[in-house]
Structure 1
């Protein structure tokens, strides 16, 4: 297979909206991280890839290639059909095939498709070259001088909702929870699909590029981790140095907002799993009460007790460590909060 002559294209030459990007890695690799708009037509299943890798390590490269070919060959008609359909649906787009390093998987596919009359290209360096670009972009971001506006507040103060409104109005919002696919607590992934670190960093770089000319960024006050995602140091430093808004929303309005956001009637099992994880941080009496409330299905009161005895004290302690004072915005409805916040932003960072 090493003698196959294929056409290649570099990452810098890609115009993503004009390409049919075919990712031939396993479904698990694709799920973790992929090029924008890519379609997964895997050469091997997760199990097949693991099997070939084991043979490569324990026996030899040659034997791994033989096994790989024996698995790939029967799939070729189906593979060919899928690629042909994609091309028929997008006749003016170029087909670009990639794997992890621009190695044998993508080269074999590109060469084989060429032999059966489908014009396509192999991406030089594979998705690893894309990953390298992301890391270089993050490194450059460290050197940029930007101000930060940090929107803080107790759990349930509708910070994310307010940021979404500001973003729609054109403000430079960096929605870290949206990029992470996680809300940042033990309950944070309920109803969402958490991103991998690699996918998060790609989407972060994409958003930062969109905001490259903005002298400031608006972020939510996050800890170092959002679920399994670790935030870059420059964002944490920006948070610590930035101007801070403290949102204050009535307690029972917060309870209602959390209840509507997490939809415990729909995601009951996930809520129960999260409650099990948080148990070790709670007092014995609170554990007993929550168990009773869970049995009764009284999720709103569960939310209220967790806010009162766990999340609010935890937040207050964290807020006490800030070295700068916050500007407080009290509100009953989103419109009031947005109006006050926009007035603050326009005063300190300039009108839009």
Structure 2
């Protein structure tokens, strides 16, 4: 018997051995339930062909040809990705709206004897769940911002805080972008806005809303992706923990973090070309010379002092946020970052009052 559900809670999803998305690869790439596997019953070319035939020629012919293609594709999945599944396999199957494509896969699975469940409403049931969580006012979320100039180790400290049991969200990791002019990740394109939101929803889903959530102070856009309204509203109300370190230490750290960009002269040249026009041609030319000479630490120091820090000061001056604490670091070695993380845990503790200043 084919079961049906609309329950997409974390516990319900965990009850299935696999979430099988039978939509086409391009639909899956645009967005999908994180952790789902894509076993399309029609690929992109077949889907377009059948759709065109349905609209422009014969609905009957489209269904007949489509059924043959669907049958062949399901057979290929049974002989491929699903061949090692035994009789206890419990899949959740869905397509776009829970219609014919998921119905075809579920019918075959049911005949095999697998206890299959179809997601009523398909992918759109998932999308509505994500939107409901991320497009509200964010009033149920207690956020603390980790702030500081470029190269102050914010992302590295987020990872260390997570290791120490603090609730964190790495927005740059979810968006596959380091959030700056040089932030694009080589060979790792950003997810679509919808897929970014799905990843964020799952990350938030497992957290306790009664405990603080630490995120890096970002602009509303991370590369080409936008922080959804609910989290952005919570970030706008959030207190901050300010990080600081000398420019030389931050430059050395940035040169290590952005080593992939430094190793790609074309990408570095392109990034420098995208600098705002208020920098003089002579200044930008000097930075490009440093890049061509491989003087990446010197380039990072110049960019921090002349581009990033002035912008950071302007932005900070416009903010009216309570300061929960300050962490000063003499350098950004692993040891210094570990000590800073320990101090941050104390700063974030309910027993620690506002205005705490610590050094490491």
Band of TM-score, shorter chain: 0.7 to 0.9
| Distance (whole Å) between structure 1 residues aligned to residue 78 and residue 258 of structure 2 | 43
Question: What is aligned with 2:173?
Answer: 178
1:151 aligned counterpart, secondary structure: strand
Counterpart check, 1:305 vs 2:305: no
Q: Which string of whole-angstrom CA distances, capped at 9 and with x for unpartnered residues, describes residues 100-149 of structure 1? A: 111111112222444566653332211211111222233567342x4432
Match of 1:26 among 15, 18, 24: 24
The residue aligned with 2:34 is 36
CA distance in 1, matches of 2:181, 2:48: 32
Matched, 1:46 2:41: no
Equivalent residue, structure 2, for 1:249:
245
Instruction: Determine the C-alpha separation between the residues in 1 that align with 2:228 and 2:192.
Output: 14
RMSD (Å), alpha carbons: 2.8
Structure 1: distance between partners of 2:275 and 2:44: 33
Q: Which ranges in structure 2 are unaligned for 5 or more consecutive residues?
A: 331-335, 355-360
The 8 Å contact of residues 27 and 45 in structure 1, kept in 2 or not, is answered as yes
Aligned to 2:2: 7
Distance 1:142 1:238, change over 3 A: closer
TM-superposed CA distance for 1:331, in Å, is 0.6
Kept after mapping to 1: 8 A contact 2:166/2:345 = no
Corresponding position of 1:82: 80
Structure 2 equivalent of residue 93 of structure 1: 89
Change (3 A) 1:56 1:182: farther
Distance 1:18 1:109 in 2: 16
The alpha-carbon deviation at position 241 of structure 1 amounts to 2.5
The structure that is helix-richer by fraction is 1
Displacement after TM superposition at 1:56 (Å) = 4.3
3-state SS, counterpart of residue 204 of structure 1: helix
The worse-fitting range, judged by mean Cα deviation, of 243-252 and 211-220 is 211-220
Tell me what 2:346 maps to: 343
Does the CA-based 8 Å contact 2:16-2:92 persist in structure 1? no
Structure 1 residues 8 and 274, CA, compared in 2 at 3 Å: closer, same or farther? Answer: farther
1:111 aligns with 2:107: yes
The 3-state SS of whatever aligns with 2:215 is: strand
Residue 23 of structure 1: how far off its partner (Å): 1.5
Residue 240 of structure 1 contacts residue 322 of structure 1 at CA under 8 Å; is this kept in 2? no
CA separation of 1:117 and 1:232: change in aligned 2, threshold 3 A: closer
Q: Which deviates the most, 201-210 or 153-162?
A: 201-210
- Which residues of structure 1 form unaligned runs of 5+? 1-5
CA apart distance, 1:321:
0.4
Equivalent residue for 2:144? 149
Alpha-carbon shift at residue 319 of structure 1 (Å): 0.9
Q: After the TM superposition, which of the residue ranges 97-106 and 14-23 deviates more from structure 2?
A: 14-23
* Residues 80 and 113 in structure 1, CA contact (< 8 A), matched pair in contact too: no
> By how many angstroms is 1:173 displaced?
1.8
**What is the CA distance between 1:159 and its match in structure 2?**
0.6
Q: What is the aligned counterpart of 1:316 among 305, 313, 316?
A: 313
Q: TM-score by structure 1 length?
A: 0.84
1:190 corresponding residue in structure 2: 185
Change (3 A) 1:295 1:266: closer
| Structure 1 CA distance for aligned equivalents of residues 163 and 29 of structure 2 | 29
Residues 32 and 198 of structure 1 are in contact (CA less than 8 Å); yes or no, is this contact kept in structure 2? yes
Structure 2 CA distance, aligned partners of 1:305 and 1:60? Answer: 66
For 1:162, which of 136, 157, 162 is the aligned residue?
157
Secondary structure of residue in 2 paired with 1:150: strand
Decide which moves more: 164-173 or 152-161: 164-173
Q: Work out whether residues 152 and 220 of structure 1, in 8 Å CA contact, stay in contact via their aligned partners in 2.
A: yes
Q: 2:25·2:44 contact (CA, 8 Å) conserved in 1?
A: yes
Q: 1:219 pairs with 215, 222, 225, which one?
A: 215
Is 2:213 aligned against 1:210? no
